[in-house]
Amino acid sequence: MEKRAIFNSRLFPYFFLAPQLLISFAFFFWPALLAIWQSFQKEDAFGLSSEFVWFENYIEIFKDSNYISAIFVTIIFSISVTLICLFFALFLAALANRIKAGKIFYQTLIICPYAVAPAIAGVLWFFLFSPSIGYLSNILHNLGFQWNPSLNGNHALILIILSASWKQISYNFLFYLASLQSIPKSLLEAASIDGASPVRRFIDIVIPLISPTTFFLFIMNMIYTFFDTFGIIYTTTHGGPGYSTTNLVYKVYVDGIVNLNLGSSAAQSVILMIFVSFITILHFRFVEKKVHY
């Protein structure tokens, strides 16, 4: 039987909701409204004067070749990190689900990178692949591969993809492990009795049953690559060389903080806000209702 709270006054529910509403307005809605308002204005570098210019900032950013480059970098970066994280996290979770001895130690070891801050993860991978002192870069040089992310844009992009993937695999691993452990053993045993090989059981039973988790992680990884990888890019490549590793979030920082073009930076923030709203609607629309097996 469902329990319901009964208040003597109609104002009591609003009284209890007030702190949450005030915090949401102060830290989410008010800054968002300011960003929208600022995206329609042009300000001088010191913020002393401003002019309402309607959609001029939006038109200018789509004429900017560096912004178009940032869109392509963001797409390549997001898809690469998402696919790497999903594949390796599922592989590691499948192994962790089968081992008997040392399971806790193995799981803890895989989860550790998730506790590392993005900026620290970027510094770790920067030193590992540093052309002069990096251990892994020395191995590549000994193999005859001239690795230099400071001068080669492709190398720099690979570096931030590896760093961001290493940081996020642990998050995916936790969800996949929980999902694998929730699969009824009777289904796998029945398929085994019917003669299905381990690979066939994994493809025909396990992957369909964990598809809701995969879709959820796909959305979360895309959000992660868009917004939580700023620290990694800042500490490894600073968006360079050139604009080869500048994604959309880092472009907002460069235009707003470095170039002091506040109107353009606000317009880019609004575009990212629209994208996040779209991803959120997609998440609640399909994860909660459509993906079932």
Please give the chain's pLDDT, 293 residues, in tens. 556 667 777 788 788 889 889 998 888 889 889 989 988 988 876 777 788 888 999 999 989 899 999 999 999 999 999 999 999 999 999 988 888 777 788 888 888 888 889 899 999 999 999 888 888 888 988 888 888 888 899 999 999 999 999 999 999 999 999 999 888 888 888 888 888 888 888 888 888 889 889 988 998 898 899 888 899 999 999 988 888 999 999 999 998 888 888 888 899 999 988 888 887 787 777 665 555 54
* Residue 169: count of CB within 10 angstroms of its CB: 26
Judge residue 6's burial from the number of C-beta atoms within 10 Å of its C-beta, 0-12 exposed, 13-18 middle, 19 or more buried.
exposed
Query: Are 277 and 288 a contacting pair, CB within 8 Å?
Result: no
Contact (CB, 8 A) for 183 and 205: yes
Nearest 5°: the CA angle 266, 60, 223 is 45
The CATH superfamily assigned to 50-288 is MetI-like (1.10.3720.10)
The confidence score (pLDDT) of residue 125 equals 92
Cβ atoms < 10 Å from Cβ of 65: 8
The percent of the chain in helix, strand and coil, each rounded to the nearest 5, is 75, 0, 25
pLDDT, residue 104, reads 82
Residue 33 tokens, joined = 């409204």
3-state secondary structure of 71: helix
Phi/psi-derived region of residue 8, left when phi > 0, alpha when psi is between -120 and 50, beta in every other case: alpha
User: How much is the pLDDT for 197?
Assistant: 84
Q: What is the pLDDT of residue 289?
A: 56
pLDDT at position 287 = 62
Look at residues 151, 157, 153, 149 and name the one whose alpha carbon lies nearest to residue 130.
Answer: 149
What pLDDT shows up at residue 103?
78
Q: Is the preceding peptide bond at 241 cis, omega within 30 degrees of 0?
A: yes
